[in-house]
Amino acid sequence: MSFSIPAPLEARLDELVTHYPVKRSASLMFLHALQEHFGYLSNEAVEWTATKLGLQPVNVYELVTFYPMFRQEPLGTTHVKVCRTLSCALAGSGELRDLFCKKLGLDSHAHAPQTTPDGKFTVEFVECLAACGSAPVILVNEDLHERVSTSEAEKILVEGGRRSGSVGGSAAKGSANPAGK
């Protein structure tokens, strides 16, 4: 797979390095910028970062694998994060996640984030989303949904289907397969 960094982005990162006493200190900023641009951090992005900053790839991989905000796989167009911490768990977040997984044909027992094969949805169980008083809570891309009912979860799937271009598809018709598989 070819990997190329747009010239303006590379220029921005080159300039960024000059703000730090040692190149290595710019590692996290590089990773944030590359993830923002590509949507995730591929092996090529990690190796490119290491080369740029005079590091070994393992020095960059240890950052990518340590911090939960970094992703090594591309996400679906609609990213559903379901809170699994106590308040939300007691309010039924496990059932919500099961519903999302069932409707999308994903494994509800998997630990890692799961993405539908068509790239439309990613479903992930996460820790507290800081809205415990209105559990159960889910984050859909940048939008926080509070006191989520099963009917609202169904609507979220339909909206996600629309966002990824399947308006009027199976999700909008209430079938058990909004990913269109």
Where along the sequence are the contacts to ligand FES (CB under 6 A)?
A: 83, 85-88, 128-132, 135, 137
Element (H, E) at 124: strand 121-126
Q: Which is nearer to ligand FES, 28 or 86 (CB)?
A: 86
Q: Which is nearer to ligand FES, 94 or 119 (CB)?
A: 94
Give the span between the Cα atoms of 93 and 25, in whole angstroms: 39
Q: How far is the CB of 149 from ligand FES (least distance, A)?
A: 15
Tokens describing residue 164: 């990824």
Q: Which is nearer to ligand FES, 72 or 87 (CB)?
A: 87
Give the span between the Cα atoms of 102 and 96, in whole angstroms: 10
Q: Which is nearer to ligand FES, 14 or 146 (CB)?
A: 146
Q: How far is the CB of 181 from ligand FES (least distance, A)?
A: 29
Q: Name which of 175, 162, 22, 33 is nearest 104 in CA terms.
A: 175
Q: How far is the CB of 24 from ligand FES (least distance, A)?
A: 35
Tokens describing residue 91: 């309010």
Give the span between the Cα atoms of 85 and 137, in whole angstroms: 10
Q: How far is the CB of 16 from ligand FES (least distance, A)?
A: 34
Give the span between the Cα atoms of 181 and 170, in whole angstroms: 9
Q: Which is nearer to ligand FES, 13 or 88 (CB)?
A: 88
Q: How far is the CB of 85 from ligand FES (least distance, A)?
A: 4
